Amino acid sequence: MFSGNTSLSGGVDTAFAVIIGISLFFLIGITAVIIYFIIKYNKKKNPVASEIEGSNKLEIIWTVIPLILVLFMFWIGWHSYIPERQVPADAMKIKVTAQMWSWHFEYENGKVEDTLYVPVNRPVVLNMVSLDVIHSLYIPAFRLKEDVVPGKTENYMWFKPMVRGSFDLFCAEYCGLRHSYMGTTVEVVDQATFDKWYASGPAKIDSTVAAVPGAAGKLIVEQKGCIACHSSDGTKIVGPSYKGIFGHKTTVETNGKDREVMVDEVYLKKSILEPNADVVKGFPKGSMPDYKTQLTDEQVGQIIEYIKTLGGAAEK
């Protein structure tokens, strides 16, 4: 299938082939013997059975031979695995942040993307952290997977892509409602394309766009993964949509009591920084991570600007 996509995936495929090969041999062999016995020693053909109690010789044979075979399988599996853990010194470092339900890839120059761009033929190491629950970064084409455990900083994986192309990247550890949507792609491009993309620097909003109100906020909302839970078109995903909330009254639960609040700048800021203080009615408490440490005041302001542009008070 997609053999040889990285410098190591071929070895893994060989391990698959060997183990499955030996397994098929036993499966087919034993099945054949059983069918033969059923036919040959059928009651009609063989009315009287021989009482054979066993044979130590046979027991030893069929203990030792499988033992040797499994040791071989163990070895080949381990042998093709060790290099996956030995990161070359010149590997390009990318910091991966996982959160419910989005991935962020941060490059050394501060560029943050939700798609993983990597140059072909160059080792890359991903250092992974999670902000909430366990996720698992899985690139089937590369035969690689590693969990991203919150509170741990030592989860990593490395690879050296050998072919250009676009490959699927999944979250493989169950992480809640939208686990199956927590996917993106790995784009393996040639060095020149990569360099050009890389040089475009940390995603900034150029001045023409910046003039549009809310553009900066929209970018943050996409990069920080808010869009995993909040839509801008009125559909309810996990959290309420941003569309048309600004300037309207909404019911929230504060310390177990319902109350009406006006969605204004103060309220929005509080909702983002301390989401569990006022919980919008009809939504579960504790779903939304708190962003106190992740967003600057300026950024929060930009997000609020963006939410304002999605209608609300202005329309009515």
Partner 1 sequence: MTGNTSTQRMPSYLEYQGKYTGIRAWILSTDHKRIALLYLYSQLFFFLAGLVMGLFMKLELIAPGRQIMGPATYNALFTVHGLTMIFLFIIPGLAASFGNFMIPIMIGAKDVAFPKLNLFSWYLFVFGAVIVLLGIFTGDGPPDTGWTFYAPYSLKTNTNVVLTVFGAFVLGFSSILTGLNFIVTIHRMRAPGMGFFRMPLFIWSLYGTAWIQLLATPVVGITFLMVVADRVLHIGFFDPAQGGDPVLYQHLFWIYSHPAVYIMILPAMGAITEIITTFSHRTVFGYKAIAMSSLAIAFVGYLVWGHHMFTSGMSETARLVFSFLTFLVAIPSAIKVFNWTATMYKGSISLEPPFWWAMAFIFIFMIGGLTGLVLGSVSTDVHVHDTMFVVAHFHYIVFGGAGIAFFAALHYWYPKMFGKMYNKKVANRALLLLFIGFNVLYMPMFFLGFMGMPRRYYDYLPQFANLNLLSTIGSWILATALIIIIVNLLRAKKGTPEEMDDPWGGRTLEWKIQSPPSLENFEEIPVIDHEPYELIEK
The Cα 74–Cα 80 span in angstroms is 10
If we measure between CA atoms, which residue out of 118, 29, 19 comes closest to residue 71?
19
How distant, in Å, are the alpha carbons of 240, 247, 265, 305, 308 from that of 314? Answer: 19, 8, 15, 13, 9
Looking only at Cα atoms, what is the longest distance across the chain? Answer: 95
Please, which residue, 100 or 307, has the CB nearer to partner 1?
A: 100
Instruction: Please identify which residue in 84, 173, 187, 278 interacts with ligand CUA, judged by CB under 6 A.
Output: 173
Judged by CB under 6 A, which of 173, 230, 246, 302 binds ligand HEC? 230
User: Measured from the CB of residue 311, what is the shortest distance to partner 1 in angstroms?
Assistant: 27
Among 70, 71, 212, 314, binds ligand HEA (CB under 6 A): 70
Exposure string for 150-163, b = 16+ CB within 10 A, e = fewer: eeeeebbbbbbbbe
For the bound state, the minimum distance from the C-beta of residue 146 to partner 1, rounded and expressed in Å, comes to 5
Shortest separation between residue 102's beta carbon and ligand CUA, angstroms: 9
Distance CA 132, CA 138 (A): 18
Closer to partner 1 by CB, 86 or 207: give it: 86
Paired with 145 in beta bridges are 138
Binding partner selected for residue 118 from ligand CUA, ligand HEA, ligand HEC, none, CB under the kind-specific 5 to 8 Å limit: none
CA atoms within 13 A on the CB side of 143: 23
308 lies in the binding site for ligand CUA (CB under 6 A) = no
Q: Find the binder of ligand HEA among 3, 17, 24, 26 (CB under 6 A).
A: 26
CA pair distance 100, 228, nearest whole angstrom: 8
Question: What 3 state SS string does 122-148 have?
Answer: CCEEEEEEECCCCEEEEEHHHCEEEEE
Cβ neighbours for 225, distance < 8 A, ≥ 6 positions apart: 99, 100, 101, 102, 104, 114
- Single out the segment in contact with ligand HEC by CB under 6 A; choices: 20-28, 106-114, 189-197, 232-240: 232-240
Does position 247 bind ligand HEC by CB under 6 A? no
> Any contact of residue 66 with ligand HEA (CB under 6 A)?
yes
173 binds, among ligand HEA, ligand HEC, ligand CUA, none (CB under 5 to 8 A by kind): ligand CUA
Interactions with ligand CUA, residue window 103-142 (CB under 6 A): 135
Query: Look-up: residue for tokens 């899985």?
Result: 138
The stretch among 168-176, 213-221, 224-232, 301-309 that binds ligand CUA (CB under 6 A) is 168-176
* Gap between the terminal Cα atoms of the chain: 57
**CB atoms near residue 262 (< 10 Å):** 12
The span of 13-21, 175-183, 225-233, 289-297 binding ligand CUA (CB under 6 A) equals 175-183
- The contact set with ligand HEA (CB under 6 A) reads 26, 30, 66, 69-70
- The contact set with ligand CUA (CB under 6 A) reads 101, 135, 171, 173-175, 179, 182
- The contact set with ligand HEC (CB under 6 A) reads 100, 224-226, 228-230, 238-240, 245, 250, 263, 268, 271-272, 275-276, 279-280, 283, 287-288, 291, 303
